[in-house]
Amino acid sequence: MSTFEQLIDQFLYRPDEPGLPSLQWLADAPRPESTGVEAPQEFLAFSLTDETYAVPIATVREIVKVPVITEVPRAPKELLGVMNLRGEVLPVYDVRARLLLAGGVQPITGPGDVPAQARIVLVKSESGDAGIITDGVEGVVRLLPSLTEPPPPGGTEKPFLAGLSRRGERLYILLDVEKVLE
Amino acid sequence: MTERRPVAEFVAEATEIVEGLSRELLGLDERRGEEPDPERLNAIFRAAHSLKGLASLFGHDRIARLAHVLEDALDALRLGKVAADDALIDAFIDGVDVLSGLLAMASRGETDGPAAERALALAQHIETLVAPAPEKPPALHELGVDKAVLNVLTEYEEHRLRENVKKGVALYMVRAVFSLEDFDQKLTALNAALKPLAEVVSTLPSAQASDEARIAFDLLVACRQPAADLEAVIRPFGATHALLSASVAPRPSAPVPVPVTAGPTAEVSLKSLSQTVRVDIARLDRLMAAVGDLLLTRTNIKRFAEGARAAGGGLHPMWAQELSREARALERKLDDLQKGILEVRMVPLGQVFDRLARLVRRLLRESGKEIDFEISGGDVELDKLIVEELSDPLMHLLRNAIDHGIEAPDKRASKGKPRRGRIRLRAANSGNHVVIEVGDDGAGMDDDRIRDEAVSRGLLTTKKAADLQRTDLLNLVFLPGFSTRRQVSELSGRGVGLDVVKTNLGRLSGLIDIVSERGQGTTFVLTLPLTLAIIRALVVQSAGRTYAVPMSSVLEIVAVRPSELRTVEHRQMLSVRGQTVPFVRLSQLFKLPETPVDLHYVVLVGLAQHRLGIAVDHLLGQQDVVTKPLSARLRDVPGLAGATDLGDRRAVLVLDVPALVSEIVRPQASP
């Protein structure tokens, strides 16, 4: 890449532009016939380490590619840093350590530190919108409340678990966004 | 809510009127005991009248009622029915305070509050002050003025006439004939010319004009100067004069039953006189944010243009040159735009000084001390937001000066000083900053008392206190809870002290310094940036991370070898021209990987009276930035004011200098 090409690339690059799973298809997709039995709820599923998590679609604001993240000195270790999204400064969290997944918090300062599929799920929240780094977004899933189990015992240890839900063979761990970011 | 807009407009317009009212009243107040200037009384009367009308229009009955009472009292005053004594002037000044209170309530949409009660009480108080009806004045013709003239005079004009006759001022009738085309300008000019030596009691259009294209006026003039002077003034206007006396011939013309004031000004255009617009500061903030974003685009385009030139590549050289030229033009225009918006945000400090003057006069009356209060530099301009935030700190400093600074008259006399003390409020421009001084010629600060107080409050040990130099000692007064005043004063209140002043100033990126000489007085010197909307930042790098430091708090940059640092009580110190300054490496403070260096670049920052040296690895340059707040989630992370974008879409953290200074320099507050 010549300096010039790099400059053009840098100038035109929008962290959230290319290759995003658009949520628009959701609005366009045919709704399942109302059977009167049970309406499924919509979740955004994403992977962290080797598990699949899901958060209610209503809490998701946006999904963005991993931009340059500025580390914030003396902040809690789950905070990877802040990102600049179209002029707005937003905190980005790595919740793996909280979920007691292997790996802990690795410093991530930009797109170079993560695999290409990694995305930041930007969630809406009372105490300020925030990004959660994920290993990849799987898409929107419809889960039936009747197939959702309450969180396993030991809930005091993991208050951010909202439940477990199955769809066919797959198991989704439902997260309480507010609590996981506390 | 549809109600909001009218309320905001009402409050804005009424506030302007009240501020005007306040200014004129202060003029009256300064000349207590003298005969009030009729022009000034009229101005106050008109302001009260407009306010009454405006308040009734918007349904603010309490304000309308108080304005009405003020108007009546002022009318009685200008008609000479009551005297401008201290009680009445004090009541008027209180009236302005209460009106301000009522307006503040109106702006918050409240209907009840202390101001409402005060309004009622004050209205009654003023009514009793002006109640006693004076005895019937003597008929005017007894004063030697012709009846035909008297018939057309208004009550006010009669009163002025009577006053002048009483004082033995000679009365003249000046006859001027002007062309119909420009009589209004001519008449205004004549009035202006007469003003220095005479009072124009009444202007009467005369029916007896020499021809159709001309109009004659009779001016009833009370002239304090000899007739020759009057002659000299009116001759250029082609006017003649006649001495009026009881024996003067009846006016040849039949009195014209036209209200005098409606005469020459009846044709005034309905277009507004004012060429200004009122703008909500939030709109300017939005404009400024847009400019901030444009500045980033400019930086990118500039880099793009430079890159295009350097790389050559596929671009035609002409193209690259053209791009550079356009980029430079854009840069210049954007600078103009940014300057323009900043100018619009600027308001004169006089806005807050006037309010302070009102308060000070009230405090002076209550304190019983003899003090002259001087204000200068009201025309110095600052960002509206800063001006608003300044009123509380300045009020506090002024209260302090009145209460703690100036000694009682007898004590001053015994020290060989004039009995009257002096308090000065001054503002001046100084480069990119404004310096405001609040000074008194009082007793000055007492080292020993400050030392005792600090020790007794456990702020520092006796030994430490004894070692402190005077400057450091003086700065102890900025510690929370510090006060050398033994008896709690009515004026200065309790609990809130200079620490609040310091905190408020810190929020405005301001500095405060104390200059105090025993026996000579104390001056607080406040240094403030012109604006906070767009700040100039120093871009630095530490351990590979980029940070922005607001230039307004950067005093200078020095290069220091590690061997030049000293350690005092486990703290690293730096010596800058004889002054010892605490030193910290940013990478160490922020727990970033540290690498040994041969030379520290030390950014010397100042906050209020504190200084701190922050060492960084590299200095990258300066840039204008708009600071965006960090998420509320990061509120507990210390030392950061926000983040900004330097043009590469990364978030760059902006250091919070006040927080860093109080973290590192934190005065010897902990026992």
The pLDDT tens digits of the residues spanning B198-255 come to 888 888 777 665 566 777 888 888 887 777 888 888 888 878 777 764 333 333 334 3
Place of tokens 């854009």: B330
Strand order in the sheet with A88-93: A60-65, A119-123, A130-134, A88-93, A79-85
By Cβ distance, the residue of A7, A10, A72 closest to B653 is A72
Q: What is the CATH number of the domain that holds B506?
A: 3.30.565.10
Task: Label residues B579-612 b or e (16+ Cβ within 10 Å = b).
Answer: eebbbbbbbebbebeeeeeeebbbbbbbbbbbbb
A182 touches chain B (CB under 8 A): no
Query: How would residue B603 be classed by pLDDT, with cut points 50, 70 and 90?
Result: very high
Contact A74 B590 (CB under 8 A): yes
Tokens of B12: 């804005």
Contact B311 A3 (CB under 8 A): yes
Domain match, B327 and B355 both: no
User: What is the number of CB-based contacts under 8 A between chain A and chain B?
Assistant: 96
For residue range B307-350, list pLDDT tens digits in order.
777 766 666 778 878 888 888 888 889 888 888 888 888 888 98
CB A134 within 8 A of CB A46: yes
CB B161 within 8 A of CB B145: yes
B95-to-B43, B66, B116, B334, B337 alpha-carbon distances in Å = 16, 8, 12, 47, 42
Sort out which chain B residues have CB atoms less than 8 A from A1's CB and list them.
none
Of residues B207 and B47, more confidence is placed in: B47
B545 touches chain A (CB under 8 A): yes
Residue type, A98: R
Q: What is the CATH number of the domain that holds B30?
A: 1.20.120.160
B293 touches chain A (CB under 8 A): yes
Sort out which chain A residues have CB atoms less than 8 A from B310's CB and list them.
3-4
The verdict on residue B195 lying in a domain is yes
For residue range B463-479, list pLDDT tens digits in order.
777 777 777 778 778 77
Give the per-residue pLDDT at B140: 59
Q: Closest Cα of chain A to B511: distance in Å?
A: 27
Q: What are phi and psi of B361, to 5 degrees?
A: -60, -40
In a mutational test of the A interface, the residue from B319, B634, B663, B664 whose CB has the highest number of chain A CBs within 10 Å is B634
Residue B668 has pLDDT above 50, yes or no: no
Domain match, B84 and B12 both: yes
Average pLDDT, chain B: 79
**What is the rounded average pLDDT of the residues B507-516?**
80
By Cβ distance, the residue of B307, B545, B651 closest to A4 is B307
Residue type, B32: R
B645 touches chain A (CB under 8 A): yes
Alpha carbons A8 and A12: distance in angstroms, whole number: 6
Alpha carbons A106 and B537: distance in angstroms, whole number: 31
The verdict on residue B269 lying in a domain is no
Q: Closest Cα of chain A to B341: distance in Å?
A: 20
Give the per-residue pLDDT at A25: 55
Q: Closest Cα of chain A to B508: distance in Å?
A: 22
Last residue of a domain, one of B303, B330, B347: B347
| Rg of chain A over all Cα atoms, to the nearest angstrom | 18
Q: Domains of chain A, with CATH numbers?
A: 3-23+38-180 (2.40.50.180)
Give the per-residue pLDDT at B4: 47
**What is the rounded average pLDDT of the residues B149-164?**
76
Give the per-residue pLDDT at B260: 37
Of residues B147 and B203, more confidence is placed in: B203
Domain match, B177 and B70 both: no
By Cβ distance, the residue of B303, B314, B651 closest to A83 is B651
Domain match, B494 and B378 both: yes
Domain match, B388 and B496 both: yes
Contact A11 B304 (CB under 8 A): yes
Residues of chain A with pLDDT under 70: 1-37, 101-105, 154-157
Contact B307 A128 (CB under 8 A): no
Helices (H), chain A: 3-12, 24-28, 177-180
Query: How would residue B306 be classed by pLDDT, with cut points 50, 70 and 90?
Result: confident
Last residue of a domain, one of B328, B347, B366: B347
Give the per-residue pLDDT at A123: 95
Query: How would residue B143 be classed by pLDDT, with cut points 50, 70 and 90?
Result: low
Alpha carbons B488 and B500: distance in angstroms, whole number: 17
**What is the rounded average pLDDT of the residues B156-181?**
78
Domain match, B342 and B358 both: no
First vs last Cα of chain A: how many Å apart?
43
Contact B311 A2 (CB under 8 A): yes
Least confident of A143-147, B77-81, B433-437: B77-81
**What is the rounded average pLDDT of the residues B500-524?**
82
**What is the rounded average pLDDT of the residues B530-540?**
83
Q: Closest Cα of chain B to A75: distance in Å?
A: 6
Domain match, B200 and B300 both: no
Residue B240: give the domain boundaries. 140-249
In a mutational test of the A interface, the residue from B539, B650, B663 whose CB has the highest number of chain A CBs within 10 Å is B650
Report the number of distinct structural domains present in chain B: 5
Least confident of B43-57, B435-449, B555-569, B576-590: B43-57
Residue B608 has pLDDT above 50, yes or no: yes
Contact B631 A130 (CB under 8 A): yes
Residue type, B206: S
A131 touches chain B (CB under 8 A): no
Tokens of B11: 């409050």
Domain match, B340 and B302 both: yes
Q: CA B14, B19, B22 angle in degrees (round to 5)?
A: 125
Contacts of B318 (CB under 8 A, 6+ apart): none
Q: Closest Cα of chain B to A4: distance in Å?
A: 6
A111 touches chain B (CB under 8 A): no
Residue B146 has pLDDT above 70, yes or no: no
**What is the rounded average pLDDT of the residues B11-27?**
83
Place of tokens 């009654």: B124
The complex's ipTM works out to 0.77
Q: CA B41, B43, B44 angle in degrees (round to 5)?
A: 65
For residue range B613-656, list pLDDT tens digits in order.
999 999 999 888 878 778 889 888 888 888 988 877 789 999 98
A58 touches chain B (CB under 8 A): no
Q: What is the CATH number of the domain that holds B607?
A: 2.40.50.180
Give the per-residue pLDDT at A81: 94
Give the per-residue pLDDT at B216: 80
Contact A82 B300 (CB under 8 A): no
Instruction: Please write down the long-range contacts of B411-415, taking CB distance under 8 Å and 24 or more positions apart.
Output: B415/B519
Give the per-residue pLDDT at B486: 43
A48 touches chain B (CB under 8 A): no
Selection from B163, B152, B147 nearest residue B218 by Cα: B152
Domain match, B636 and B546 both: yes
**What is the rounded average pLDDT of the residues B494-502?**
67
CB B186 within 8 A of CB B178: yes
Residue A70 is given by DSSP the state B
DSSP string, B534-556: SEEEEEEEETTEEEEEEGGGEEE
What are the residues facing B242 on neighbouring strands? B173
CB B176 within 8 A of CB B216: yes
Tokens of B359: 């308060």
Give the per-residue pLDDT at B400: 85
Helix (H, G, I), strand (E, B) or coil at B112: coil
B1-to-B56, B109, B577 alpha-carbon distances in Å = 21, 12, 60
Last residue of a domain, one of B130, B160, B195: B130
Domain match, B577 and B428 both: no
Sort out which chain B residues have CB atoms less than 8 A from A89's CB and list them.
628-631, 642-643, 651
Domain match, B430 and B503 both: yes
The verdict on residue B291 lying in a domain is yes
The verdict on residue B651 lying in a domain is yes
Query: How would residue B445 be classed by pLDDT, with cut points 50, 70 and 90?
Result: confident
Q: What is the CATH number of the domain that holds B192?
A: 3.30.70.260
A130 touches chain B (CB under 8 A): yes
The verdict on residue B184 lying in a domain is yes
Residue B484 has pLDDT above 60, yes or no: no
Domain match, B362 and B498 both: yes
Tokens of B432: 């990119």
**What is the rounded average pLDDT of the residues B526-543?**
85
Query: How would residue B439 be classed by pLDDT, with cut points 50, 70 and 90?
Result: very high
